[in-house]
Amino acid sequence: MTLRDTVALALLRGFPGQALPEALRLVTGARPTGSCRSLTQLVVRLGLRLPGGCIRDARERADESLARAEEQGVRPITWTDRAYPPCLAAIADPPPVLWLRGHPDVLNTPSVAIVGSRTASRYARDVAEQLGSDLAGRGVTVVSGLARGVDSAAHRGALDGGRTVAVLGSSVEIVYPPEHADLAEAIAAKGGAVVSEFPPETPPRPAHFPQRNRIISGLLRAVVVVEASDRSGSLITARLALDQGREVMAIPGSVLGGRNRGSHSLLKDGAKVVERADDILEEIGLLGGNTPVRADAPPVPPDALLACLSDGEACDLDDLTERSGLDSAALLARLLDLQLQGFVQRVEGGRFVRVIGKW
């Protein structure tokens, strides 16, 4: 499907979010009988009844968004782009398009989110900044939402030692809060990225922030919550992370005043206690280096999915689903693991190849 039609899909009024996984499968299929090459064909294949003229309207708005993005130096990354992170493609409702300022390769690196209170205490800000710096210095990308408090502290710490990604509840050229515009510029300039699913000229709205949280959790291996009350928005990110099969961890804090009630609730429910960066790295299998390795796996693990791929052969999701017997969610999750371990690479057209000589 063309870039224009994929952007139009994201802007299509009335398109149900629960149809996104099947839409992804149809769009990334390589075989003519199993794939959709236009938005009109996709809507028909999904059996959707949409108001007349809505596809034309979505395409016109897509043209406007793409023109603005080009003017502003913003890159659209669609489902079929090799830069689209496979871990995000594996969630229940992946965005068809990510709009990005900065370096797209950072989206395909081992990542951890640090999230928490916007009205954070000095202690929480110091912890978030230290964790951000320590993780980034060990080769882990720090992801957060560029908000006041914990988020901005984590970004600033990460910039000291490595790279960070900010996920916005507005379009990427409209930074919120506005006082973080310089921070966003530094993130994009220093090897990181500022990303959003919202097209250019989209202002921040209250409903956008819970919506963007699924992208924060979808981009990474684990979420670390720093100082969250029992009504904190960071608990939404933690719940989404659990739904997506990610690890959830929390920093313990004072029992006075209720600032940490949400974090402590996560700990009571089984979240890992974090006191330092090594606690996080150990949980996600990165302790001792910055290459993800499962502790119980041999150096070159036998793998049924790898056995479905010949050296240098590019396969789409339909092929791999048929060969492996895995459903879409399980297949994408396994492909993510193999990609992070260096056994598989994603190439143009949303296809995957086995790295020659790795197994």
Each residue's pLDDT tens digit, 288-301: 644 443 333 333 34
Contact 68, 201 (CB under 8 A): yes
Average pLDDT over residues 7-32: 78
Provide the pLDDT for residue 290. 45
Q: Please say if the pLDDT value at position 256 is more than 90.
A: no
So what's the pLDDT on residue 288?
Answer: 62
Domains of the chain (ranges; CATH) run 104-283 (3.40.50.450), 304-354 (1.10.10.10)
What 3-state class would DSSP assign to 298? coil
Strands 141-144 and 111-116, how do they pair?
Answer: parallel
Contact 198, 65 (CB under 8 A): no
pLDDT digits (tens, 9 = 90+) for 110-168: 999 999 999 999 999 999 999 999 999 999 999 999 999 999 999 999 999 899 999 99
Number of other CB atoms surrounding residue 44 within 10 Å: 11
| Residues 325 and 332: beta-carbon distance below 8 Å | no
Do residues 222 and 251 lie in contact, with contact meaning Cβ atoms separated by under 8 Å?
Answer: no
pLDDT digits (tens, 9 = 90+) for 339-353: 777 788 777 666 788
The total number of residues written for the chain in this structure: 359
Top-confidence residue, 189 or 13: 189
pLDDT of the residue at 29: 62
pLDDT at 182: 97
Please, where are the H alpha helices in the chain?
A: 3-11, 20-28, 39-45, 54-72, 86-89, 122-137, 150-161, 181-189, 208-218, 234-243, 261-268, 277-283, 304-307, 317-324, 328-340
